[in-house]
Amino acid sequence: MASVAGKPLDGLEFELETVAATGRLAAALAHIARIGDVIGLRGPLGAGKTAFARAFIFALGGREEVPSPTFTLVQTYPLCPPVWHFDLYRLDNADDARELGIEEAFADGVSLIEWPERLGPYAPADRLDIEFEILGDERRLARLTGSGAWAARLGGIDFARD
């Protein structure tokens, strides 16, 4: 797959046979993530968004439990780089995202955002979107679309498949 001068890279897909495979994809992306990166996690309930976030945080050295922030809306992890994990499922209005510290998260850490479409105009153009599709009990399809800096970095992803 290729990108041209930061234009989106479409069509990078991975079949994830197990939750462990989702974890390996998350770890591969965690190792190339940088401060200021935004990763949107899309898909229906139960598609693997939170499992991906847990594995991503664990790959960066997180050792505490990583709950779904469905009710708190955001959890922060003082890692290197710092990680902000947002779950915007219950967000009523895109303007409410500013009260969650979204601007600070975009500047000072890596942002993992479940239900990123709820950001509306606050969703940055430079981001990685991962769409999860349920294929079976544990099987998932992950479609990655990178814009801006992510478009160039996705070509070098090192991901061991099942």
Under the banding of pLDDT at 50, 70 and 90, the label for residue 11 is low
Q: Is residue 17 in a domain?
A: no
Burial class for 143, CB neighbours closer than 10 Å (0-12, 13-18, 19+): middle
Q: How far apart are CA 18 and CA 7, in angstroms?
A: 31
12-43 pLDDT, tens per residue?
899 999 999 999 999 999 999 999 999 999 99
Q: What is the CATH number of the domain that holds 111?
A: 3.40.50.300
How many domains, in total, are found in the chain? 1
Residue whose tokens read 């069509």? 11
- Mean pLDDT for the stretch of residues 121-150: 92
Q: What pLDDT sits at residue 7?
A: 44
pLDDT surpassing 90 at residue 63: no
Under the banding of pLDDT at 50, 70 and 90, the label for residue 6 is very low
Q: How far apart are CA 35 and CA 82, in angstroms?
A: 8
Q: Is residue 63 in a domain?
A: yes
**Higher confidence at residue 68 or residue 129?**
129
Q: What pLDDT sits at residue 10?
A: 55
Q: Is residue 27 in a domain?
A: no
- Mean pLDDT for the stretch of residues 134-145: 94
Q: Is residue 144 in a domain?
A: yes
Look up the domain containing 129 and give its range.
35-155
Q: What pLDDT sits at residue 148?
A: 84
Under the banding of pLDDT at 50, 70 and 90, the label for residue 155 is confident
Q: Is residue 160 in a domain?
A: no
Q: How far is CA 127 from CA 21, 62, 102, 121, 160, in A?
A: 22, 23, 14, 14, 23
Under the banding of pLDDT at 50, 70 and 90, the label for residue 98 is confident
Q: Is residue 104 in a domain?
A: yes
Q: Is residue 161 in a domain?
A: no
What is the value of pTM for the model shown?
A: 0.88
Whether 36 and 107 have beta carbons less than 8 Å apart is answered as: yes
Do β-strands 128-134 and 38-42 pair in parallel, antiparallel, or remain unpaired? parallel
Q: Is residue 127 in a domain?
A: yes
